[in-house]
Structure formats: structure tokens, C-alpha cells
Structure 1
Amino acid sequence: MRMTQRLALAACLVAGSAKAFAAEVPAGTPLHPVQEIVRGNGTEPATLDPNKSEGRPESNMAVELFEGLVSLSPDGKVIPGVAEKWESREGGKVWLFTLRKAAKWSDGSPVTAHDFEYSFKRMVDPKTASQYAWYLGKASNVKNGRAIVEGKVPPSELGVKALGEHTLQITLEKPVSYLIATLAHGSLMPVPRKAIEKYGDKWTEPGNMISNGAYKLAERVVNERIVMLRNPHYWNNAKTVIDKVTFLPINNQSAEYQRYRANGIDMTADGGVPPEQLKQIRRDIPNELVTWPQLGTYCYVFNFRKKPFDDVRVRKALSLALQREVIAQKLVGTGETPAYSFTPETAEGYTPIEHDWQRWTQAQREEEARRLLAEAGYTKARPLRFELLYNTNEGHKKIALAAAWMWRRIGPVEVVLVNQEWKTFLDSRNRGQFEVSRYAWIADYNEPSTMLDLFHSQHGNNDGKYNNPQYDAIMDRAKSALDAAERTRLYQDAERILAQDFPTANVYHYSNRHLIKPWVKGYGHNPEGRILTRDLYIVAH
């Protein structure tokens, strides 16, 4: 059976044909003669290879330099990217994407369905060592995606196939109602096979890189700046306004703020608002502080392979002791909300549940935490000692100091803070070289599974190695559930299990927070936090 309905993310069977976004400048708006912008990126990206991207610093670069089958509007709606339309067949198990004939690489050569087939198969190939190798099989449910990652079948068997130059076929294990939303992820960009085969790992260097997004790489000085110029071969270049964007990897919020006040930055990185400067910001430049809810959770992850964090009493005690309201509202204070569950209530199609301990006073939580630690055998003569790992950032340091103080309040707890630069931090966490680590998960797409799948035992980013067969079974059922109400019930059941097992100590749900100069226009309130330079423009000032 062939389905050809209009795009509707709530439906299982979807066909795409929607407006493509770029900078939408209102008629009569006077533009600045120099369309250049400087943006913060938080830290130096570990890679510019989309297939190997892992965190927000890397994804920020991927979506500027490359464009996938679909993209996101300024407000986070799924829109056509390289694919101008799509349709499903066989009850939603087979999808056909029609690519734009105008889509080109930055060297002028055409972007084809073969490029997407190569990229997707490269990402799942164990030789690539992608931290998102799991994504196509787990999030998108692409045929053989999981089996390839598990080494059972070769990458060539992935359910992705070019049917000519401009038609890509994706075959699923089972229908997934939110498939299209998963395809906007930064790791699913096409990558240039000819450049990779010619330059190897150096293909991402300036002069070697070929990209298909609105911008192309012009310069990279590690730990200093990444400069991108407008890509004249981008299919929608006529509607791009910004000619040059420079990203600065500043991981010190105060330093970034000072540069912003000196007009050296037009838009700070997400989260680039130092809490100690909030009073001054709200007094002096209140209209430049821009915040809105974000689909993401800040937490601490416990390593189940390191004792005593295989003991739920220890995990629960540390979680109960955290004063979430204080951290979210006082220490951060830019719209964050206390996190009692891992999934933010703003996730599309999700109805949150309330846990028993959520209704307790903080004093009651701390009393129960003391009881649990004592029951686990910790005393003044035998204190609970562990290291708390976080990536270098003054905001993370302040939260870690506060958490350590809160944990010491409940009894004999001794915490050693360990900070590492971003790339080293990721490596330590991926290799399980931590006891308790700062963790954050920003949604890969707007649907609860993007949060809850993280705790599936087969998830590639399950760094704490949490493993509960009952939980896995519930999430596997949710994956193939086509009824929205049934999925919601399953997601709530999953959250209840997490509330019993405490694989993480959830702290707060993020807000997007930037300082943005008043002359920068075109951004929206994307719940995933993505602001694309192609959507921006600079008004006369």
C-alpha cells in the first residue's frame, strides 16, 4: 500500500512537502552593510566530522557546514533539507526520499543519494568508532542498524539504499511514528566520500573539507576560532544573508561575557550567561538576555561498574540530598526547572508523573538519605569517598561545589572534584574512567524516547552502564507502539523504573539562555536549542 499524506509528526505514515526555511527578512527592514557575526560555542569541538560528532559543541558545527535529508525551522519544526519530499510504503516500513537536483557540495559537484548511503553506512561501521553508531538502529529503527553495531552483520547490510542519483530508500525493522524527526540529527549529514578517501582523518581541515550546508570551512585555529564563509553552491543560498560566521570556543562564561560587553561577540553560546553577572545583566541589558525552555536535563551519572555505585541505597541517598530548587533557581537562575524525572515535561507527547519523594520537604529527603547511607554501612570511621568528574567550565564547577556541600550535609561523605577539558572528559566518560560524572542530555529530536532511550542497556551513550531488562523491554515496546496514548503510558512506566533505580541524580531541566545583541534577528525558540546562522541577519545599527 502506498501512502501520500502531508507531513504530520503525530501520524505514523508521513509524506513530506513543506516550506524550506532560511533568513526571512521582513519587507522594508534596513540591513547592516556588513553581514558578519561572531558566536560563542562553549568549548573547542572534539571533531568536525559529522559522523563522529557527540556533544553540542560538535553538533553546532555539523549543522552549519552540512545539511541532512531534513532540517529544523527556527522554532524547531521539521522542514525539508536536501530531501524536498518523502513518502512511506508498506505500512511505514519503507520510506522514499526525493533529493533536490539543486543540492550541491561546496566544490559545485552534486549531492546524491549515494552520498547519504555512504554516510549512514560509514556511521554505523565499527571502524569509524562513532559515538552515535547506535542512533540509526536505536532511534530511527533502520533495518540491521543494531545488528551491525553488535557485529552480527556487515555495514553494507544497513537498510539504506540509493535508487538512482536523487532517490534514497530507507527500510525499517518496524514502523516508527517519529522517524522523520530523528533524521535532523547532526550525525546524519552526508559526508564527502572523495575527500575522506583522499585525505583520511585530515579531510575536516580547511582546504580539504567539502560540505553541503549553508556555510563552508574557511579557517580553524584550535582553541581560538572557527571561521565559516557563505557557501555559494548551497541550494538555498539566495535566501542566506550572513556572509561570515566566526565561532569562538570560550569555556569561561565570565570571559565570554566580558567579550560580549565589549562587542567582541554578537551571540554567546547556549548557557553563556554567568550567574554572578545576572543581576547586572538584568539591570543594564535586560532585553539582550534571551531564554526559553530546552529539551534537556543536567544530572550526575553513577558508574554501575564502580563500587559502591552498584548499590541503589548509595545512589538514592545522593540523589535525595541534592537541593534541586536551590541549584536551578538560585545558582543558575535563568529559567531552569528542578528535575525530578529525566524527561522534561515540555517533550512533545509526554505527560509527566510525580514521584512520592518529590512531594517531601528537603528535610525529609535528607533524613531518608542519612538513613540509607547508614544502612549501607557508612560511618565517620568509614566515610563514603568518591571523585566527581566534570568538564572545565566555571558554571559546572560551582554546581559541583554545591553538590559536594549538599552531600556532606547528609553524613560521612567526602568528595574530590576532578575537572578535565572537553575532549579528555568525553574520553574518560566513554571509557568508564569515572565514579560519578557530570552528565547532560539534550534531545536529539522532540519526542520522549530521545531522553529515555539513554538508559537502554544497548544505548551507545549509556556511560553509567545501567542495565535493567524490564526497562529495556518497556522501551522496546514503546519503539514499535503506533498509538500515542500507549507510548505515553509506556514512557511513564519507564520513568517509574528510573525513579526506583536512580541511575542518575537529576538536577535540573535546561533552558536555552543566550546573550544576543539587539541587531541580531531571525532566531526562534527551538526547544532543541539549535540556532542556525542561515536563519539570521544583522539589521542596521
Structure 2
Amino acid sequence: MTKLFTTTALLIVMALPASAVQPAEGETLAESQTYTYWLLDAIKTLDPAKNTDVEGSDVLRQLFEGLLNEDGTGGMVPGAAESYDESEDRLTYTFTLRDARWSNGDPVTAGDFVYAWRRVVDPRTASEYAWFLELMNIRNATQIIAGQLPPDQLGVRAIDDKTLEVRLTAPTPFFLKTLAHATTYPVPQRVVEEHGDAWTQPGNLVGNGAFTLDSHTLGVDITLSRNPDYWDAANVVMQTVRGVTVNDNNVGLTRYLAGELDRVQIPAGQYPRLSQEHPDQAVSIPYACSYAYVFNVSDKGPAALKDVRVRQALSLGLNRDIIVNQVLQGGQKPAYSWTHWAIDGFQAPDAEIASMTQEERSDRARALLAEAGYGPDNPVSLTLQYNMDENHKKLAIAAQQFWKPLGVKITLNNVEWKVHTDRMQSQDFDMARYAWCADYNEASTFLDWFRTDGYNSGKWSNAEYDRLLADSKTAEDTAPLYKRAEEILAAEVPAAFVYHYAKVDMINPAIRGIPTRNVTNSWYAKDLYRLAE
């Protein structure tokens, strides 16, 4: 059976096209092939080893190409690798690379992937996503990240320039799904070593993706142009891609309506109106991201949040129905689990909180706070930190009002994205707005966040939870393990889960090729084209 699976997998990948989207019969292309989209925040880095942001990943997906890409439904299709083979024991994958070149004309080799992956786990790189290679179960990743082994002991090697071997510590059913993630992209060793930290600057950056970097003004805009050296450049229609940073979502919408942007997020509460006024432009689709208020339970966190009853009360006190139905109004769903409801194969546990009325939840919250010694005469006082965005501000004000009748005093603190994430990473916060978007379409992409050694900014820790996630890496049936993990999160409340995202956007109907059936919302500019208007 394993042989059949291996052979089938190999043939499927070899038979799949590159997934380029082409104009349909009768469609007339615009003379100027440009795409301009909205960015909420500055892109902190264009280094695949150091990026942590969705916006950064969107740009990196154009500048670089991993072993595999995603198609319009989230299925895995060939990228830099044209085929792969899997060993009988499912511990070794061998990838055959296609003939491709870097944007400076150098050939893309298996050694470029080896260098890039070793660089991610090397403690000297200080990659915040080094744990992603642990999650992939790459052999020796954990020991290298901990400084116990040198990076050259990572379970990846170049058999020759076109053959890459990857060795795992355990069979990993979702392994192939991780290979479109920016952390796994190759980087050109000679360029990185020549320019150091400046290698990602315009004029220095060399990529193997369908586009090259023309300019990048931090917090203003970023411009990419079609890469003539890309292996499939003949099938890339789009010529120029530009991301424009607009911190105010309402201003972004105004600029979209003025024709300055081709895609923008719809501000909270405006989808019903815009879908009526612009039914061919307003879209709402499931998007595998979950929104939460993370509690700092580390030694640096407030004493109140170390009491699980306080955390439970804060979660109970959030009126999620008002948030999704009256504030957001874009097809979002209340969150009673961390994992997004649309993730492939996910089975959420029954959540008692979901079946209660808000009045019942608030009564339970008051009782829990009283048990913990808090009330009107001794209120819980906390600061809620969030990054600049009108939607985040609206939700923070709503949460503040929901908690006030419970005897919880909330101070709001609005900061820039870089400050926000830096403070979260150093546990310099009480409560913080955060959202996690799936790195691949499987529940572990959410659940691994709360592992003791995961991203886990609030530093919550639970031994049973860690064991469940460890066991899931080799389990034939992961569903019951994931379900139990979500039950622990519901009981321990390391964060108050608020809502599950929908992608609620205005999209210029002249722009074609944007995927609407991929829950990770991964898009590739090589698949986009612009119709004549």
C-alpha cells in the first residue's frame, strides 16, 4: 500500500500543471497589466527566514518560490520541484528540482534549499519561525535550534544540484502542505553573505519567484515587476504589482472607490451596504484566521491573569454575537475554539459556552470573579493592547464595554504593529489583540501556537497539551487528539477567542485570478491578469 501511495504521489505531482491562470476565451486583456492592493501595516522584512506576518508572506510568495505552491483551492502543485518521491517508511522525501534560475541568472540548486533551511534553524539567525521546521519534523531541527547540534546536522541534503533529500523524525501527514510556506523558501547564499542584513534591499535582493523587487519604502509602498528569468515567465501576464500601506481602513476604502486600489479590506460593519451597492466587487469567503485576546500569564504578567477564574470570566463576558453580527457584519463566526471552523478535517468539541445565552455567560463571569476575590469594590484592572486599525479599535472599545459591568476596568493601548509584536514577544503586555492565520490547511497550524515551546506569546504551559501535540505528529487519527487539545484550551483559557475570520474585501472585477476557494487565502501574482475596462 505504501508503494502504491508513493508511486501515485509521484505521478500526481509530475502530471500536475504549474497552475498558471490564463485569460478565458473572449476576455480582452488590459494594455497595462498592473495590480495595486492595500496593506494595513509596514512589511517588517523581506527575509524568508525572519518574516512572521501575513502581509510579508504575500510579498515573499511573489519574490521567491518554494518546493510546492498552492492552487486556487489550496491543493499542492509543483513549484521549484517538478516531482517528489516518498520512502516506504514515510521518513524520507526526495525532490527533483526543475530547471530554474535566480533573478541574477544563477541556477537554482538543491544546495540553495539546504542553505536556507539550515539558516532558519541556526540560532545566530534568530528566526522567530525556526520552530516551523520543528513542526515539519525535520530531523535534528529541535537540537539545532537549542544549540545542541550544528546546523549542518539538519536532515536535509543536496544529493546533486537537482535532487534534494529531506529526512523526518516521524511520518508527518501534513508535511507536503508546509512546503509552500515562506520559511521554506530557498535563498541565494552568495547574495546573503555578500550583503549581510542589506541583502533584501532593492538592488540587492535576488529571488527565484515570478517577480523581482523594484522599490520598497517602509510603511509607504512596495513595487514588484515581472521576472523575465522566472522559469514560467512566458505564462505570467501581470507586469507590475504594488502594495500600498494605508493604516486607516476607511481611508483605504475611499482610495479603492476612487480607483487607486484594486483590492482592500472592507471596514467593520460596511459589508451589508457595499454588497448591495457593489455586488460584483464585495466578497466574503471563509478565511482560516482566528482573532483572540491573548493573556500574559508569564512571570511578567499581571497577577490577576494567573487565576484561571479571571481568564474564564473575561472569555465569558465577551459578547461575540454582537461583535460578529453588529460590529463586523461580514460573515465572520463567533470563536469558541482556536482552530478555524473551515480547516480541513477539524472537529470542534462541544463548547458549553456556545450553548449559553449572553446573560447566562455574564452571570457565570460575575460569580467566577467573586470567587477570585474581585468585584465592584476590588475591580480587575488590565491594559488591552492592540495595533493600529479602525476595526481593532472598534472591537477593543466593545470588549471594554462588555467587561465594565462585570467589574473589570480596561485601559486601551493602541500602538504600531512593530511595537505591538515586539512587546508581545518580550511579554511586555497584560492582554494583547492577536490573530493567527493558518500556515497550512491542518489543525496543528493553530494548536502548535500554544505549545510551551511554540509561538505562545502569553507563555501559558500545560504538560498534557504538549503531549497531545507531540503524539499527534505520529498518530494515524489526529482528530481526537486535536479535539482534546481544544478542550484544554477551553478550560484553561490562555486567550479569549473572539471570532473566526472571513475574507471580506472589495476586489476590482477587472482583476482575475484571485483565489476565492482557498481558506488560507494564498494568492500568486503570476496567476493574476487584468481585463480591459
- Which TM-score bucket, shorter chain as reference? over 0.9
2:94 aligned with 1:93, yes or no?
A: no
Structure 2 Cα separation of the partners of residues 362 and 297 of structure 1? 21
Which string of whole-angstrom CA distances, capped at 9 and with x for unpartnered residues, describes residues 1-40 of structure 1? 86633349xxxx9966522112222123211111011111
Give the 5 Å matches for 1:49-68: 49-68=47-66
- 8 Å CA contact 1:457–1:467 kept in 2: the answer is yes
Letter paired with 1:506: F
How much does 1:338 deviate?
0.5
Structure 2 Cα separation of the partners of residues 407 and 20 of structure 1? 51
- 8 Å CA contact 1:317–1:372 kept in 2: the answer is yes
Give the 5 Å matches for 1:8-47: 17-47=15-45
2:412 aligned with 1:417, yes or no?
A: yes
Letter paired with 1:250: V
Structure 2 Cα separation of the partners of residues 339 and 374 of structure 1? 26
Instruction: Give 2:472's aligned residue.
Output: 478
Structure 2 Cα separation of the partners of residues 449 and 321 of structure 1? 28
- 8 Å CA contact 1:17–1:80 kept in 2: the answer is no
SS in 2 for 1:454: helix
How much does 1:95 deviate?
0.6
Structure 2 Cα separation of the partners of residues 280 and 364 of structure 1? 33
SS in 1 for 2:456: coil
Structure 1 Cα separation of the partners of residues 521 and 243 of structure 2? 16
Which string of whole-angstrom CA distances, capped at 9 and with x for unpartnered residues, describes residues 368-413 of structure 1? 0001111111133321111101111111010001011101122x21
How much does 1:313 deviate?
0.4
Instruction: Give 2:228's aligned residue.
Output: 232
2:278 aligned with 1:285, yes or no?
A: yes
Q: 379-388 or 441-450: which moved more?
A: 379-388
Instruction: Give 1:331's aligned residue.
Output: 327
Tell me the TM-score normalised to structure 2 length: 0.96
Instruction: Give 2:428's aligned residue.
Output: 433
- 8 Å CA contact 2:465–2:485 kept in 1: the answer is yes
How much does 1:236 deviate?
1.0
Letter paired with 1:496: E
Instruction: Give 1:265's aligned residue.
Output: 261
Structure 2 Cα separation of the partners of residues 5 and 330 of structure 1? 52
SS in 1 for 2:207: coil
Sequence identity, in percent?
38
- 8 Å CA contact 1:15–1:87 kept in 2: the answer is no
SS in 2 for 1:92: coil
SS in 2 for 1:223: coil
SS in 1 for 2:337: coil
Q: 1:505 aligns with which of 472, 496, 517?
A: 496
SS in 1 for 2:306: coil
Q: 1:106 aligns with which of 103, 121, 133?
A: 103
Q: 2:439 aligns with which of 444, 447, 472?
A: 444
How much does 1:184 deviate?
1.0
Which string of whole-angstrom CA distances, capped at 9 and with x for unpartnered residues, describes residues 311-369 of structure 1? 10011000000011111122111110000111122111112221122211110100000
2:200 aligned with 1:204, yes or no?
A: yes
- 8 Å CA contact 2:286–2:501 kept in 1: the answer is yes
Letter paired with 1:126: P
- In structure 1, runs of 5+ residues without a counterpart are none
How much does 1:531 deviate?
2.0
Structure 1 Cα separation of the partners of residues 15 and 479 of structure 2? 28
Which string of whole-angstrom CA distances, capped at 9 and with x for unpartnered residues, describes residues 404-433 of structure 1? 1101122x2111111111111111111111
SS in 2 for 1:349: coil
- 8 Å CA contact 1:216–1:228 kept in 2: the answer is yes
Which string of whole-angstrom CA distances, capped at 9 and with x for unpartnered residues, describes residues 73-108 of structure 1? 12211111000001111411011000001x111111
How much does 1:119 deviate?
0.4
How much does 1:152 deviate?
1.7
Instruction: Give 1:4's aligned residue.
Output: 6
Letter paired with 1:440: A
How much does 1:146 deviate?
1.3
Structure 2 Cα separation of the partners of residues 328 and 380 of structure 1? 29
2:68 aligned with 1:76, yes or no?
A: no
Q: 1:124 aligns with which of 121, 124, 140?
A: 121
Instruction: Give 2:458's aligned residue.
Output: 464
Instruction: Give 2:519's aligned residue.
Output: 527
Structure 2 Cα separation of the partners of residues 290 and 258 of structure 1? 17
Q: 1:355 aligns with which of 338, 351, 354?
A: 351
Tell me the TM-score normalised to structure 1 length: 0.95
Give the 5 Å matches for 1:104-183: 104-138=101-135, 140-183=136-179
Instruction: Give 1:274's aligned residue.
Output: 267
Change (3 A) 1:360 1:179: same
Which string of whole-angstrom CA distances, capped at 9 and with x for unpartnered residues, describes residues 264-299 of structure 1? 00112xxx1112543542332122011210111001
Instruction: Give 1:299's aligned residue.
Output: 292
Aligned residues: 527
SS in 2 for 1:506: strand
- 8 Å CA contact 1:295–1:344 kept in 2: the answer is yes
- 8 Å CA contact 2:51–2:57 kept in 1: the answer is yes
2:254 aligned with 1:251, yes or no?
A: no
Structure 2 Cα separation of the partners of residues 78 and 42 of structure 1? 28
Which string of whole-angstrom CA distances, capped at 9 and with x for unpartnered residues, describes residues 197-254 of structure 1? 1111111111000011010000111221100000001111111111001101112110
- 8 Å CA contact 1:303–1:435 kept in 2: the answer is yes
Structure 2 Cα separation of the partners of residues 245 and 296 of structure 1? 25
Q: 189-198 or 256-265: which moved more?
A: 189-198
SS in 2 for 1:510: strand
